[in-house]
Structure 1
Amino acid sequence: MDPQATQPAGARARLGRPRDASRDADILEATIEVLAEQGFDGMTIDMVAARAGAGKATVYRRWPSKADLVIDAVACMKKRDLDPAQLPDTGTLRGDLIALVRAPSAADSDRKMHVMGGILSLMSREPELARTAYAAILQPRIAANRILLERARGRGETRPDIDVDRLAALMPAMSSFRTLAQREPITREFLISLIDDVLLPAAGVVRAVV
């Protein structure tokens, strides 16, 4: 007897229609794009499906709700973390920090902050999403800054008593405020001004006058 014959019709249908995992990455990337543009409340599954070139049913088979889809999409941003082994090492804290704010990096930071803005209304109702957003959007840059600051302190470039954890979070926090409260974009010029006018002075780094 066919083993499937004893199974309910719905179960046989699911077995015969396996999920195409190859589409997941496209759908999650489309979710981030639409979320950054429309926010959670304005985003729809139809928008995501159209952006990904997928059927609406395909999305719903994998993610039963919009909130589930957003949580997974934001979590996937964590995979793009900065590799500690590939962080710049120019010999100065300023040089290292400037190397991290190349134009594509600034654009990525701006996009992440727009994603953060898009999910603010949902984060208050979904504690899991709040933790996921922090880990994916803010934590990677804070971790990179911490490494650069500790390296600079080790070579005597900063004051020995600096609060590394607080300084590492300074630029991501101010970037969040600029996007979420002031509704201004994060540009390379803005990030460099934070480095020169805020972070370096707070760390006790004296820039040479050229």
Structure 2
Amino acid sequence: MDIINKSDFVENIKKKIPVKLGRPIDKLRDLAILTAALELVAEQGYDSVTMDAIALRAHAGKATLYRRWKSKPYLIAEAIRFIMPRVQKVDPARCGENFRNYLCELLSTYFGVDDEVRQKVMLSISTAISRDKSLSEAIHLDCITNQTYIFREAITCNINKKIDEHQLKLLADVGPALLCYKLITTGKPIEMKYVEHIVDDLIIPLISLNSN
């Protein structure tokens, strides 16, 4: 079975193909290239993937890839941006009684819990960034870390008093940081049970301390 069939990120890409590319054939070609790049990263790891391999998998000429992206890091970076969750707005109605479930949902959505392929891609990229300066520059870490903004806004919405900005940032960073650490150190997919453990035994107690 093709590994990409286990993931839902193809649908995410389809929704985000840039309109500026114009002709439908161009959009479909870019979809094929980005999908091929993600498939290969999930299967082989970032370091092993080449532009030749991506072109072959996408049934595209290598010249086509280089007309759109100047190198592999920039192609992969664009593919990663497409599979990351779109920036969300905090739902105030869920910052009350349903706050615990809301935090679990935000964390699980961001890390693609139950989506093994997406987590493999994130694992490969997160470990490659420190070794590949071009990838680090191309990917713009904010596209990976901007979800902490949503956590921070949700926490602010839940806490009924103003807290120090540094404390707030730490609270917002705890969940994503632990999930990243878990993914990198174990190399295994993150399960919902672990997300709930972080929320129930760490984030909620910390928020409660700062709410008093």
TM-score by length of 1: 0.69
Shift of 1:55: 3.4
The answer for unaligned runs of 5 or more in structure 2 is 1-22
| 1:65 to 1:103, Cα distance in 2 relative to 1, 3 A | closer
Distance across 2 between alignment mates of 1:117 and 1:135: 17
Shift of 1:39: 1.8
Aligned Cα root-mean-square deviation (Å): 3.6
1:113–1:137 Cα contact (<8 Å) kept: no
Aligned partner of 1:152 in structure 2 is 158
| 1:72 to 1:179, Cα distance in 2 relative to 1, 3 A | same
Indicate the larger mover: 129-138 or 30-39: 129-138
1:146–1:165 Cα contact (<8 Å) kept: yes
Aligned partner of 1:13 in structure 2 is none
2:113–2:189 Cα contact (<8 Å) kept: no
Indicate the larger mover: 67-76 or 194-203: 67-76
Aligned partner of 1:192 in structure 2 is 196
Shift of 1:88: 6.7
Distance across 1 between alignment mates of 2:36 and 2:196: 30
Distance across 2 between alignment mates of 1:98 and 1:125: 32
| 1:193 to 1:39, Cα distance in 2 relative to 1, 3 A | same
Shift of 1:54: 2.9
> What stretches of structure 1 move > 6 A for 4+ residues in a row?
none
Shift of 1:136: 1.8
2:151–2:172 Cα contact (<8 Å) kept: yes
Distance across 1 between alignment mates of 2:47 and 2:123: 13
2:94–2:102 Cα contact (<8 Å) kept: yes
| 1:115 to 1:160, Cα distance in 2 relative to 1, 3 A | closer
Aligned partner of 1:12 in structure 2 is none
1:116–1:137 Cα contact (<8 Å) kept: no
SS of the residue corresponding to residue 118 of structure 1 reads: helix
Taking the TM superposition and a 5 Å limit, the aligned residue runs for 1:1-210 are: 21-22=26-27, 23-77=29-83, 80-84=85-89, 89=94, 91-92=96-97, 93-100=99-106, 101=108, 105-107=112-114, 111-112=118-119, 114-118=121-125, 120-126=127-133, 129=136, 132-140=139-147, 142-154=148-160, 163-204=167-208
Larger Rg computed on CA atoms: 1
Q: Kindly, what percent of the aligned residue pairs are identical?
A: 26
The answer for unaligned runs of 5 or more in structure 1 is 1-17, 206-210
Q: Any idea what the Cα deviations from partners look like across 1:34-91, whole Å, max 9, x if unmatched? A: 223322211122432344343333223322422232233234445x323215687152
| 1:33 to 1:119, Cα distance in 2 relative to 1, 3 A | farther
Shift of 1:105: 4.1
Indicate the larger mover: 68-77 or 106-115: 106-115
TM-score by length of 2: 0.68
1:175–1:186 Cα contact (<8 Å) kept: yes
2:111–2:119 Cα contact (<8 Å) kept: no
| 1:28 to 1:112, Cα distance in 2 relative to 1, 3 A | same
Give the counterpart letter for 1:97 in structure 2: L
Distance across 2 between alignment mates of 1:160 and 1:119: 31
Give the counterpart letter for 2:133 in structure 1: E
Indicate the larger mover: 38-47 or 125-134: 125-134
Give the counterpart letter for 1:117 in structure 2: S
Shift of 1:150: 0.4
2:33–2:54 Cα contact (<8 Å) kept: yes
